[in-house]
């Protein structure tokens, strides 16, 4: 299998990713210079490559922590549930937190995490995401820092997976039907 040839359309190149990451790092650096040290909270596993690239471009004292949440959303809002698979270990009480995500789609996952952090006493909670899919939004949520806005296609790469694959390519794109079929047969 050639992983890069498994994309039928590239929506963000390596160069674009680097450009957006640098821009976001500079914006955050400016906004958080009086809030040192903020906590950068990555949502596993998708945040991984973006988190690493982003924080190494931010020239501030900062802390890093992670949370793994699994989301189940029923048809009705009341059925929505976010389960914490792995919690963070840092206390957020009276702290400025920046949630780091690969993509915000419906916004439900981030919204729940945001509410949880506020209930734990966080001073502020903002969101940085490399990809935003605003057309998929089901709750009111506007990430403060956005890399690139994309449409409603299912995308992979740079942390985003299909059946755990594709997280390791430094580009974002739409997988071919053939590779999806091949992966489905394998799993």
What are phi and psi for residue 168, nearest 5 degrees? -95, 10
Residue 53 annotated as catalytic: no
Select which of 105, 132, 153, 161 is catalytic. Answer: 105
Query: In the block, which residue shows the tokens 């471009």?
Result: 57
Which residues would be at the binding site for Mg ion (CB under 5 A)? 46
The β-bridge partners of 94 are none
Sign of CA dihedral 35, 94, 55, 157: negative
Region near ligand IMP per CB under 6 A, out of 27-35, 55-63, 84-92, 96-104 = 96-104
Residue 71 binds which one of Mg ion, ligand IMP, none, with CB within 5 to 8 A depending on kind? Answer: ligand IMP
Q: How far is the CB of 147 from ligand IMP (least distance, A)?
A: 14
Q: Which of residues 106-125 bind ligand IMP (CB under 6 A)?
A: 106-109
- Cβ neighbours of residue 62 closer than 8 Å, sequence gap 6 or more: 32, 36, 37, 38, 39, 40, 55
Residues near ligand IMP (CB under 6 A), total = 15
Strand 96-104's sheet: what is its strand order?
81-86, 62-72, 38-44, 96-104, 124-132, 145-149
Does residue 48 touch ligand IMP according to CB under 6 A? no
Binding partner of 105, given Mg ion, ligand IMP, none, CB within 5-8 angstroms per partner class: ligand IMP
Binding residues (CB under 6 A) for ligand IMP: these are 46, 71, 101-109, 154-156, 160
Would you please indicate which residues are annotated as catalytic (active-site) residues? 105
């Amino acid at each position: 299998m050639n992983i890069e040839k498994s994309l039928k359309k590239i929506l963000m190149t390596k160069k674009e990713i680097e450009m957006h990451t640098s821009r976001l790092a500079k914006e955050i650096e400016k906004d958080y210079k009086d809030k040192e040290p903020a906590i950068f909270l990555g949502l596993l596993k998708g945040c991984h490559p973006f988190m690493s690239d982003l924080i190494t471009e931010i020239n501030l004292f900062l802390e890093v922590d992670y949370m793994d949440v699994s989301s189940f959303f029923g048809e009705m809002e009341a059925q929505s549930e976010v389960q914490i698979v792995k919690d963070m270990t840092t206390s957020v009480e009276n702290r400025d937190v920046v949630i780091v995500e690969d993509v915000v789609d419906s916004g439900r996952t981030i919204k729940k995490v945001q509410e949880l952090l506020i209930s734990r006493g966080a001073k502020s909670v903002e969101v940085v995401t490399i990809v935003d899919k605003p057309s998929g939004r089901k709750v009111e949520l506007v990430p403060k820092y956005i890399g690139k806005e994309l449409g409603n296609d299912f995308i992979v790469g740079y942390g985003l997976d299909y059946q755990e694959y594709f997280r390791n390519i430094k580009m974002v794109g739409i997988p071919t039907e053939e590779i999806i079929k091949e992966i489905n047969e394998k799993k």
